[in-house]
A and B are shown apart, each in its own frame.
Chain A
Amino acid sequence: MAGQLTIAKALNDALRKSLENDPKTVLMGEDIGKLGGVFRITDGLQKDFGDSRVIDTPLAESGIMGTAIGLALRGYRPVVEIQFDGFVYPAFDQIVTQLAKMHARALGHVKLPITVRIPYGGGIGAVEHHSESHEAYFAHTAGLRVVTPSGAHDAHWMLRQAIASDDPVIFLEPKRRYWDKGEVGDAADLGLHDARIVRPGTDATLIAYGPMVKVCLEAAAAAEEDGRRLEVVDMRSLSPVDFATLEESVKRTGRAVVVHEAPVFLGMGAELAARLTERCFYHLEAPVLRVGGYYAPYPPSRVEEAFLPDLDRVLDAVDRALAY
């Protein structure tokens, strides 16, 4: 498997390995069988593992989520595919009222090792409900783990770690990066909830996850031409957050800009800004700034570039941070 893989192929391979390693692992979702899913992430898996391991479901998201819970109670390890971000809402009730809480309600007697894979985010020119970033809803709910890879290596290993976890994991896949290639190593080099410094720097810290990591790396490369050395941290995990890594970086650079696609208001950035301010107050040279989507429904695709943070908006924020 090692070598250059797209994120899509890395995910496919992670699912394959998980199906091979544990006969209790089952995949469930719409069109994941013969079609291999609308993004082909499950390509070939039903052919090789059969339709009782790779299950094409009725078109009912609450049904998929609720029956996955039942299967988990019976000792299975379901990996659920939600076709697109905007279609997880019918399953939201099952996720927040049932999936997130059952372990606690049973005082630990039952486990729900369920992974919910959701392709999320914009930038692919899609129609309505195919471009949303709803990570804050899930991260806000105790009982769920929320993670999102930004490259092929993490896509592969984080998915395997998520499936192996005894907790429910919301696994957000940056769909506009599905076709980006990267080297996939033969072991997980980080824990599922560790952040990664993907580019070291000294002048300010850019904090991002999923699809925005690439934008931040581009911004850091552009800034270097102006003699600014920006550090880029890939959060990887949104619940829990690896605050130790973030804090360490921000204390060193004295400045932080959080970048995500979701609306800024009450998004992940709000939480990070508050906590980093609390913990790094005497090290900060500027307030923690946020770059993200506007407080508006995700726009039609012809104007989505105006909604999504891009290199220039990130650099503008860096300028503001450095001007303090």
Chain B
Amino acid sequence: MTVKSTARARKKAAPGVPDTLRAKGTDAQPELVQLLTPEGERVEHPDYPLTTTPEELRALYRDLVLVRRFDGEATALQRQGELGLWASLLGQEAAQVGSGRAMRTGDYAFPTYREHGVAWCRDVDPLNLLGMFRGVNHGGWDPNEKNFHLYTIVIGSQTLHATGYAMGISKDGADDAVIAYFGDGASSQGDVNEAFTFASVYNAPVVFFCQNNQWAISEPTTNQTKIPLYRRASGFGFPGVRVDGNDVLACLAVTRWALDYARSGNGPVLIEAFTYRMGAHTTSDDPTRYRLAEETEAWKAKDPIARLKAHLEKEGLADEEFFASIDAESEQLGLRVREGVRSMPDPDPTLIFDHVYAEPHALVDEERAEYVEYAASFEAGENL
């Protein structure tokens, strides 16, 4: 018998996977919570009811438009050489605004590097977000001022910080909750899985908010997982929900539910916001190398802003004057961001030595003095 035929015989005899255990794949028809269809029709979901006033809907629309505008402005500023890099949130506005607006004042957000829309909802000055990308600092704002932590570049790290912070909330007996943002790529990291374990065993009030934008730079979600991501939660012993990430109302309702669930002592929740990164991963990426234009086109039809606008128009909840006023505000924001970035000064080089430690450190002090003396020697003309 040849080797080949043995292999064939074995293959035939191998037991099949029972249908119930067969992975559905990550891009099988997703079981999404949806409250607003891509055509702008309001639908109900039995588990996540949401009542909204016309003012609230208009406010969400305003958020979406301004966040997109801010993001577009930053992309343009990168192209003009004002920023070294930009990670655009284009397409993910609903996931961020919906979840961001679900938070209460005392809640705390731990972002990755793309959560400009969440920062907006936390009332963080948009200019703060640009310092890092311009290269004038590595973060730069006071996270406790608006309960919005610094951006985190190392994939998944912040999910542990969020969990630890949530453990502290439990210890304090406080009524707050935490939300940790990460991507589908990050879900493969050990830290994210360790965060799930800690959050679960300590019942920490943390909501893990995974924006599955289908790609981790060039790698599709199928490179990270064989089951839909929200189902990971069940293995750790907490609920997981998949929500239409382009539906701001569904993101709002599900996140609000999850935060309340967590703050009531039930432990964590995983939300997978099923969405799409319409632009490049960052301004240095070239998505045409790894994904098809048709895919992007198909997602365009699910645009989060267009569908809310369609709804507002259909239901007569906003008139031309409203849309015009948002456009005007958007222009003003663009101007403010543009001028703000251009007039952002380079830091004094002694920034290098600032805040390395909270308390004095002999080596840092010595090297600072060395640098200051060296720099002064140029001014004095000694080194000419």
* Chain A residues near B (Cβ < 8 Å): 26, 52, 57-58, 60, 62-63, 65-76, 90, 93-94, 97-98, 101-111, 113, 142-143, 145, 165-167, 193, 239-243
Contacts and interface: CB of A to CB of B under 8 A. Distances in A.
Interface string B161-172: 111111111011
A63 B164 CA distance: 9
Given A108-B355, A143-B356, A101 B138 contact: yes
10 closest A-B pairs (Cβ-Cβ)? A70-B164, A66-B160, A74-B168, A67-B164, A63-B194, A105-B139, A109-B142, A70-B165, A240-B362, A166-B358
A100 B363 CA distance: 15
A63 B359 contact: no
B198 A60 contact: yes
A58 B198 contact: yes
Given A63-B198, A94-B160, A106-B142, A73 B359 contact: no
B201 interface: yes
Contact of B198 (A67, A94, A104): A67
A239 B363 contact: yes
B256 to A, nearest CB: 23
Contacts of A109: 141-145
Nearest to A102: B150
A66 B180 CA distance: 13
9 contacts: A67-B161, A70-B162, A74-B167, A98-B154, A108-B355, A113-B358, A143-B356, A240-B364, A241-B362
B172 A70 contact: no
B111 to A, nearest CB: 13
Contacts of B144: 109-110
B172 A74 contact: yes
Nearest to A73: B165
Nearest to B199: A67
B357 interface: yes
A93 B154 CA distance: 9
Contacts of A60: 190, 194, 197-198
Contacts of A94: 157, 160, 191
A268 to B, nearest CB: 13
A73 B363 contact: no
B222 interface: no
Interface in B126-151: 137-145, 149-150
Contact of B140 (A67, A101, A105): A105
Contact of A142 (B140, B171, B201, B364): B364
A63 B165 contact: no
A74 B364 CA distance: 27
- Specify which of B157, B191, B195, B357 lies most central, judged by the most chain A CB atoms within 10 Å of its CB: B357
A104 B357 CA distance: 7
Q: Is the interface of B mostly helix, strand, loop or mixed?
A: helix
Contacts of A58: 194, 197-198, 201
Contact of A103 (B168, B195, B355): B355
Nearest to A75: B168
A53 to B, nearest CB: 9
Contacts of B161: 66-67, 69-70, 73, 98
A241 B144 CA distance: 33
A66 B363 CA distance: 27
Interface string B260-279: 00000000000000000000
Contact of B358 (A66, A90, A167): A167
Given A63-B198, A66-B160, A97 B364 contact: no
Interface in B222-271: none
A143 B138 CA distance: 14
B289 interface: no
Contacts of A69: 160-161, 164
Given A74-B165, A105-B140, A106-B139, A63 B195 contact: yes
A63 to B, nearest CB: 3
Given A66-B157, A76-B171, A240 B361 contact: yes
A103 B364 CA distance: 15
Contacts of A240: 361-364
Contacts of A111: 358
Interface in B61-81: none
B235 to A, nearest CB: 14
A92 to B, nearest CB: 12
